């Protein structure tokens, strides 16, 4: 499996590696937030497994439901100069809460908002890491 693939005259990171990087980053965020704040509960019997399930569910919802929500809320996001966008992350987190039931609970919307911001920061960091990897391969390959 190649780390970098060439597609349409552009280099990009392998989708499986990209997915694994994001899953790892999100899992770390959820484990840290759960240990810091008691208003987010992840089933502690198998913390890492449930964190991975939460992250996978979040990933699926982000790829399916989130684009629809973003499209529907373009007017309010524009009026608020983008400040409504993290609220979409909160909505997605509450959907994950609803889907996973007693294994994942978000009791405080302010903390859910903080998690949404942390996930956005994680996305930014991951994108920067991926860009650096691609630049490194451009230089050497």
Residue pLDDT, tens place only, 13-57: 667 777 888 888 888 888 888 888 888 888 888 888 888 899 899
Residue 15 lies in a domain: yes
- Rounded to a whole number of angstroms, the CA Rg of the chain reads 17
Range of the domain at 86: 4-126
Look up the pTM and report it.
0.76
Residue 139 lies in a domain: no
Q: What pLDDT, on a 0 to 100 scale, did the predictor assign at position 62?
A: 86
Overall number of domains in the chain: 1
Q: Are 28 and 19 in contact (CB under 8 A)?
A: no
Residue 34 lies in a domain: yes
Residue 116 lies in a domain: yes
């Amino acid at each position: 499996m190649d780390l970098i693939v060439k597609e349409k005259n552009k280099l990009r990171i392998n989708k499986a590696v990209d997915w694994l990087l994001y899953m790892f980053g999100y899992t770390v965020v959820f484990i840290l937030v759960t240990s810091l704040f008691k208003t987010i509960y992840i089933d502690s019997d198998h913390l890492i497994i449930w964190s991975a399930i939460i992250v996978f569910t979040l990933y699926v919802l982000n790829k399916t439901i989130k684009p629809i929500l973003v499209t529907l809320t373009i007017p309010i996001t524009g009026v608020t100069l983008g400040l409504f966008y993290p609220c979409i992350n909160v909505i997605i987190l509450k959907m994950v809460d609803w889907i996973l039931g007693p294994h994942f609970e978000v009791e405080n919307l302010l903390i859910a908002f903080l998690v949404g911001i942390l996930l956005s920061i994680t996305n930014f960091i991951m994108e920067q890491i991926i860009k650096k990897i691609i630049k490194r391969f451009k230089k050497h390959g």
